[in-house]
Structure 1
Amino acid sequence: MFTSDTHAAFANKRFLIIDDFQGMRSMFREMLKSCGAKDIDAASNGAEAISILEKNKYDVVLCDYNLGLGRNGQQVMEEAKFRNLIGLATAWVVVSAEKTAEMVIGAAEYVPDDYIVKPVNEATVRARLAKVMDRKAALLDIEKAVKAKDYKQAIALCDQKLAERSGYTSDLLRMKTNLLLQSGQRDKAKAVFEQILAQRDIPWAKTGLAKIHLLNKEYDEARRLLNEVVEESRTYLEGYDLLAKMLEEIGELDEAQYVLIRSAELSPNSISRQKSLGEIAQKRGDLEVAEKAFRKTISLGENSILKTPAAYLGLAKVCSEKGNTSEAVRLLGEVHKTFDDPEATLHAKIIEGAVYSKSGDLNNARKLAAEVATIMKESAARLPAQVTLEAADLIMGTGDKDTASELLKVVVKNNHENETLIDQVKGVFAKGNMEEQGGAMVEDMRREVVQTNNKAVALAKEGKLEEAVSLMRNAKGMMPNNKRVLLNLTYAMILLLKKNGREAALEREARDCLDRIQKLDPGEKLCADYRAMIEEIAAAG
């Protein structure tokens, strides 16, 4: 029933209609007016929609999928979310004539607030939008706490609303478990998932429980749960993605590729999934599948904010492996032209050097290796380990063993507990006929990092907290990606805060360290404990 309250709800909201047909824009405008809406704007294509969203804030966006040339509706939504052009209170509703399973599943991956299939009538639009707006209003305070990274408050609000039994139970439970996982509270999240599953078999809860088992390296149980998800809920794509990730982690690349192919058949327009398929196929040496997946990734990213240099870099490696040097070099040139990203352009130089080396063009390989070596002297410690490893491999292969060794030392210092990376480092030393010398260097670097950490721990135990913090800050400057260094620095700062009381700059530095740790290892349990300690100090004033 259309009530005065519903009319008022529409009257107080600002709407944007995105559709490439004038007739549809006019029809939706009239429907919204009949519902009570007064403030209504419209866009006829993706570019115009983004331009309008850059200037104005909206409560509700109604967006078609097919928008003619340029961005489609999904890409407009991706960009609006990625660039924070829409607020937490904004409801994004896809309204499209596209109703194939492939299209609906694909759109759902990007979590619109609703998906309405054309043709529509006023009653349907009114009812669906009223429900979406009510949900947004009910969960807004939780979303605000999440944006502020106040996970404790967000979880408390979830519990409060669940106790009030005010509706949206599934949404609240899902938000709560995600928050518990984000804050590292695996045991509490596990208990909630098990409680949900004891009452009803729900794919997202079973996948969440599997994620905890995966974080705990309990692979058999994770595998069992995820196999159940993909067999019983064949369109639940998150289950496929997590299963593929687990299989890759345990080295079962054949199975991982098979799982990704199955999910890509269900939803072929996911940039991240096609990229993952390309990367796994490349690791397996399945160059045909890898090339197809990377080219699909590039095509999908043409008008997307999620366009990624990784697809160009991966495809260049595949082309090089297939002996197509000119195509590999062309693709790497596209990276330089298309992406304003120093890390991506440096990685492209590294791969280009490797491409020339593989093709026998040693002059160009040496030239690029020298350029890379100059750049890496200043940036190696801040780069991903795999990029630094590839640079060291290129430089070692062109004969500069000293520079390559220094880069490999950086990798070891930042990853002294990562046996997989350590083995790769030893492999590069072996290529330069430095097995014995390289092995000794590796052990020296690992010993040095351990001694630094132990010294900081000893200083903290002696109550010399300022010295411990100073020592670990210096270590962080040299090893900014070393998780153990970051954890020890954070704990030393927490002890100093407990001793001296609140200090905003130190609290901020500790939180920044925790953010960095979670980026390096989302499953690190200590992050939750340390965040709780910082919040206790802040609450005590």
Structure 2
Amino acid sequence: MQKLDLIKLYSNKRALVVDEFPDMRASIRRMLRSFGVETVDVANDGGDAMARCRENQYDIIICDYSLGKGKNGQQILEELRFTQSLNHQAIYILVTAEVTRSMVFGALEYKPDDYLIKPFNPLLLQARLDNLMLEKQFFSNVYEALDESDYEAAAEHAEVLVNRDRRYRVAAQKLQGQALLQSAQFDKAHKLYHDVMERRRQEWACIGCARALIGLQKWTSAIHVLSELIDHGTESLQVFDCLAEAELALGRNGVAQAILERATVSSPYGILRQINLAEVASANNDYLAAEKAYRRVIKLGVNSCHDSHEHSLGLVRCLLDKEKQQISGNSDTFKECYTVCHRIKKKYGNEAQVILQADLIEAKTLAQQGEIDMAIEHAQKLFAKYREEENILPGLGLDMAAALLAIDKPNQGREVLEDLAERFAEDNLLLAKIDAMADQPISTKAKENASKINAEGKVLFETDNFDEAVAHFRMAVNHYPNNVELKLNLLLAIMQCVNTTNAGAAESLEMVDEAASLIASLESLPSVHKAYQRYQSLASEMQQLQDAA
């Protein structure tokens, strides 16, 4: 394309320059006008930039990362992508003076079209923009289809362009693969990526292949492809995200947590990954890791379109669960729980389900403080309100169940959990949380897992490997802390271990204390529970052990 053609191309574009410093805004504005852009608007902060983007459709946005108070350049792009307010053919260039690894990774999370380090001159900016403009023009039909969410058409347009121009061959293949994934044509996407990998094993094709395998629910195959990339030293955070997704689908939540923790070290500013980490750690009952992640999410959520009441409520749940686990009676913990709930009710005063959630968590806090009568009164009133709500949010359902369980209403709590599991049967992370709260498996996956755990434990019992049986069921109870059958199996393993091994007096006493704690945790088991008779029998035997000790 000739220089004159490029100037004509620029003349039809509308640009926005976002920078907190007037001199920098003016400088970039002059550069763009010298390239041929006739309409160049400016904004001095994130709020001003978002307001202008709501009023106008921009073809070029050049935005500084640091914009003082309010949204930064990454959060502006984040919201424009989230709200689909930025056309696919538009160009977004992020500018920064910072070059730290974590900042760069964070800035690239939402895939700006380019990334410029200050200071830069007109020649560099024009060279980058020229290349981007020509590429966007080449793929205009693809981008128009993507703007219409017509992913099948976008894939077809991209396929036509694969052999049109060698310069854009790889870009066309990437767009085609992405559109196939978005239109759920996973078999076609897998073939495309596999063919590319056959010719030359490129990282982007391996990631695409893994995503197609995940779409086909071939979790193990996807894990193999992604693990190879990690073994070869990939720095693509998408690899870790996909790997965590596949591990979660297989129920290996602990592995998924470790993967996400590794990724957040490289990119601590990626809020969606931090949210995922917080939720996975919570489902794993790793309350310290969950608390840390939720505090990070809340900090990152300021000015982010992904900010949610669920993050603050998630923090409170972690604090209460950690307190319950440690039994420290820390008044500061309870004070923070009430403070956060009050702040949420003030901020979301018009959202009935959010207010109900905060009230439920306050009722749970009362119960943990020992104010049982008051907690019961509050929880019962809130349960009546809960039953009147329609389209219950998952978080509200979990909080309702937790409050009912806290006031010793296991049947009602289980009813709420079963309803959630039925309505959100495809949400693996939510199902993991539900099963962690329940006294027996609810999801199909948890039932299968419990059956496997018990079968393996049975083999250990039959071969008199009671030490291994104790370790086996300890791990299971840690994963499903409220599961009655697993607790009773652990109790039996401990008792057998104490009776048949040559453990020292101190070790035996520790085991007896652990068994006593298990018995105590089951004292409120209702007589109608199917495991009640077994519980009573083991409790009686346990009493004899304690007397002997």
State the TM-score, normalizing by the size of structure 1.
0.73
Matched residues, number: 437
* Contact map agreement 1:396 1:432 (CA 8 A) in 2: no
- Aligned mates of 1:341, 1:142 — CA distance in 2: 40
- Aligned mates of 1:167, 1:374 — CA distance in 2: 64
* Contact map agreement 2:177 2:193 (CA 8 A) in 1: yes
Shift of 1:191: 0.7
Task: Tell me which residue corresponds to 1:6.
Answer: 6
* Contact map agreement 1:264 1:274 (CA 8 A) in 2: yes
Q: Which amino acid aligns with 1:322?
A: K
Shift of 1:53: 1.7
The 5-angstrom pairing of residues 221-236 of structure 1 reads 221-236=221-236
Superposed CA offset, 1:414-457 (max 9, x none): 468999768966638978735459xxxxxxxxxxxxxxxxxxxx
The 5-angstrom pairing of residues 286-305 of structure 1 reads 286-305=286-305
Q: Which amino acid aligns with 2:404?
A: I
- Aligned mates of 1:219, 1:100 — CA distance in 2: 35
1:329 aligns with 2:338: yes
Q: Which moved more, 1:399-408 or 1:139-148?
A: 399-408
Q: Which amino acid aligns with 1:295?
A: R
Superposed CA offset, 1:335-387 (max 9, x none): 3233465544443333333333233222442244234323332336x335564
- Aligned mates of 2:146, 2:415 — CA distance in 1: 42
Q: Which amino acid aligns with 1:116?
A: L
Shift of 1:302: 0.9
Task: Tell me which residue corresponds to 1:351.
Answer: 361
Determine helix, strand or coil for the equivalent of 1:168.
helix
Q: Which moved more, 1:217-226 or 1:26-35?
A: 217-226
* Contact map agreement 1:275 1:297 (CA 8 A) in 2: yes
Relative to 1, partners in 2 of residues 1:122 and 1:253: Cα closer, same or farther, differing over 3 Å? same
Task: Tell me which residue corresponds to 2:153.
Answer: 153
Shift of 1:125: 0.9
The 5-angstrom pairing of residues 96-495 of structure 1 reads 96-165=96-165, 167-323=167-323, 324-339=333-348, 341-379=351-389, 382-384=391-393, 387-398=396-407, 404=413, 407-408=416-417, 410-411=419-420, 413-414=422-423, 427=440, 433=526, 435-436=529-530
Relative to 1, partners in 2 of residues 1:410 and 1:319: Cα closer, same or farther, differing over 3 Å? closer
Superposed CA offset, 1:116-147 (max 9, x none): 11211111111111222222233333233234
* Contact map agreement 2:283 2:436 (CA 8 A) in 1: no
Relative to 1, partners in 2 of residues 1:423 and 1:18: Cα closer, same or farther, differing over 3 Å? closer
* Contact map agreement 1:426 1:435 (CA 8 A) in 2: no
- Aligned mates of 2:258, 2:411 — CA distance in 1: 42
* Contact map agreement 2:354 2:396 (CA 8 A) in 1: no
Superposed CA offset, 1:236-278 (max 9, x none): 0000112222233334344323222221111110111112222
The 5-angstrom pairing of residues 501-540 of structure 1 reads none
Task: Tell me which residue corresponds to 2:496.
Answer: none
- Aligned mates of 2:373, 2:106 — CA distance in 1: 47
Shift of 1:40: 0.9
Superposed CA offset, 1:266-312 (max 9, x none): 11101111122222333334333222211111111111111122321
User: Which of 1 and 2 has greater Rg?
Assistant: 2
- Aligned mates of 1:300, 1:221 — CA distance in 2: 34
Relative to 1, partners in 2 of residues 1:409 and 1:255: Cα closer, same or farther, differing over 3 Å? closer
Relative to 1, partners in 2 of residues 1:203 and 1:333: Cα closer, same or farther, differing over 3 Å? farther
Determine helix, strand or coil for the equivalent of 2:139.
helix
Determine helix, strand or coil for the equivalent of 2:93.
strand
Shift of 1:60: 0.3
Supply the RMSD in Å over aligned alpha carbons.
Answer: 3.1
Relative to 1, partners in 2 of residues 1:341 and 1:171: Cα closer, same or farther, differing over 3 Å? farther
Unaligned runs of 5+ in 1: 438-541
- Aligned mates of 2:102, 2:354 — CA distance in 1: 32
Q: Which amino acid aligns with 2:117?
A: V
Determine helix, strand or coil for the equivalent of 1:142.
helix
* Contact map agreement 1:294 1:311 (CA 8 A) in 2: yes
- Aligned mates of 2:279, 2:201 — CA distance in 1: 33
Superposed CA offset, 1:161-219 (max 9, x none): 22434743333222222222233322211111111111222223212222333444444
State the TM-score, normalizing by the size of structure 2.
0.72
Superposed CA offset, 1:76-105 (max 9, x none): 222233334433332111122222222222
* Contact map agreement 2:404 2:410 (CA 8 A) in 1: yes
Task: Tell me which residue corresponds to 1:40.
Answer: 40
Determine helix, strand or coil for the equivalent of 2:110.
coil
- Which structure has more relative contact order (CA 8 Å, sep 6+)? It is 1
Q: Which moved more, 1:265-274 or 1:223-232?
A: 223-232
Relative to 1, partners in 2 of residues 1:100 and 1:367: Cα closer, same or farther, differing over 3 Å? same
Task: Tell me which residue corresponds to 2:19.
Answer: 19
- Aligned mates of 2:418, 2:142 — CA distance in 1: 45
* Contact map agreement 1:14 1:40 (CA 8 A) in 2: yes
The 5-angstrom pairing of residues 88-99 of structure 1 reads 88-99=88-99
Unaligned runs of 5+ in 2: 324-332, 441-481, 485-523, 532-549
Q: Which moved more, 1:341-350 or 1:185-194?
A: 341-350
- Aligned mates of 1:28, 1:289 — CA distance in 2: 44
